[in-house]
Amino acid sequence: MKHWQFDEAHIDSWAQFSGDFNPIHFDLDKARQAGSDAVIVHGMLPLLFVKKEVGKKAAHEGMTADWLSLNCRLKSPLPRNAPHAFAIHELGGRGKFSIRSLTDPEELVRGTYTMRTPVPQENARTGMLIEAPEAIERLAQFRALFPEIDELWIAVDAMVFSYFLSSEMAYEAAKSMGMAGGATDQSTLMKQALTIQTSHAVSVCPHFAVQRLSGNPEIRQIDIRLGEPLSIKNSDSELIGSHTADVYVNGRFSMQIEIGLMLKLLN
């Protein structure tokens, strides 16, 4: 078991890397307006460390012959500056992990990991193409902000997520379901709706999983191919969706990333 606590510096690092400066991660009043008792940590921030620990554990267990697949569910946001416990265990032949608060038994993040080769999506199209200079610059930025994380795949996963955040995909999904209201783009939609990341799944192929940032890996191109998003109108004010990206590094299918989102229209 490991004990983690995420503070202002961690939050600032993730905000700088991802571009997510939502005030609920910085300002208690704004966090309260969104229904939280405390300033909350970005969902992806603890997952950086989860992926590092699960990757180490999987390698220790000899799970390096096939793709490593992690599926993380974000049950509740982690409050800033609060102690949390991370644990990994095995049940029913599955590797499981969780983050719990040390002051409350509530499970905040839970997930599973396994060896599973994903199938590339049919009809996936290039959504973002990151050429060498930009990729190298972004990876260097990641390394400077998170020096404790050396795994290339975790940095690329973070990079893909940040590109996803800056895209209009959530808005397009809301619009297609008739739930965009008067919003004309993603930024105006975010003022009318609360967007919650509910899950994050990542699969990484064996050759890519072992590459380290400190080894200065050669990155010529990162091609992020997006499939058709899946959207379900759960109620008149709630939309759930799932977006999957196949990631080709230097032309080779190296990762598959799936982001689960819930959009709640504010009254």
Partner 1 sequence: MLNAVVFEFLKNAVLELKDIEPEDIQQDTSLEALALDSLDYVDVQVNIRKTYKVEVLPELFTSGRITTIGQLAAHIVSEASKVGAEAEEAAAS
Residue placing its CB nearer to partner 1 in the complex, 32 or 94: 94
Shortest spacing between CB 104 and partner 1, in angstroms = 15
Shortest spacing between CB 9 and partner 1, in angstroms = 29
Residue placing its CB nearer to partner 1 in the complex, 101 or 199: 199
How many positions of this chain bind partner 1 (CB under 8 A)?
19
- The C-alpha R_g of the chain, in whole angstroms, comes to 18
Binding residues among 100-129 for partner 1 as defined by CB under 8 A: 110, 112
What tokens appear for 199 in the block? 């899950």
CB-based contacts of 190, cutoff 8 Å, min separation 6: none
Task: State residue 65 phi and psi, 5-degree precision.
Answer: -80, -25
For position 62 contacting partner 1 by CB under 8 A, the verdict is no
Q: Which residue, chain included where needed, has tokens 């783009």?
A: 185
Candidate residues 36, 71, 192, 221; the one interacting with partner 1 per rule CB under 8 A: 71
Whether the Cβ atoms of residue 17 and residue 162 lie closer than 8 Å to each other: yes
Whether the Cβ atoms of residue 253 and residue 205 lie closer than 8 Å to each other: yes
Separation CA 204–CA 257 (nearest Å): 9
Binding residues among 182-241 for partner 1 as defined by CB under 8 A: 198-199, 230, 232, 234-235, 240
Shortest spacing between CB 91 and partner 1, in angstroms = 6
Shortest spacing between CB 7 and partner 1, in angstroms = 26
For position 1 contacting partner 1 by CB under 8 A, the verdict is no
Using DSSP's 3-state secondary structure scheme, residue 55 falls into helix
Residue placing its CB nearer to partner 1 in the complex, 13 or 256: 256
Candidate residues 1, 9, 91, 119; the one interacting with partner 1 per rule CB under 8 A: 91
Residue placing its CB nearer to partner 1 in the complex, 30 or 96: 96
Length of the chain: 267
Handedness of CA 258, 177, 15, 37 (dihedral sign): negative
Q: CA separation (Å) from 255 to 15, 57, 121, 154?
A: 23, 19, 12, 10
Q: Which residues bind partner 1 (CB under 8 A)?
A: 71, 73, 75, 91-92, 94, 96, 110, 112, 198-199, 230, 232, 234-235, 240, 242, 260, 262
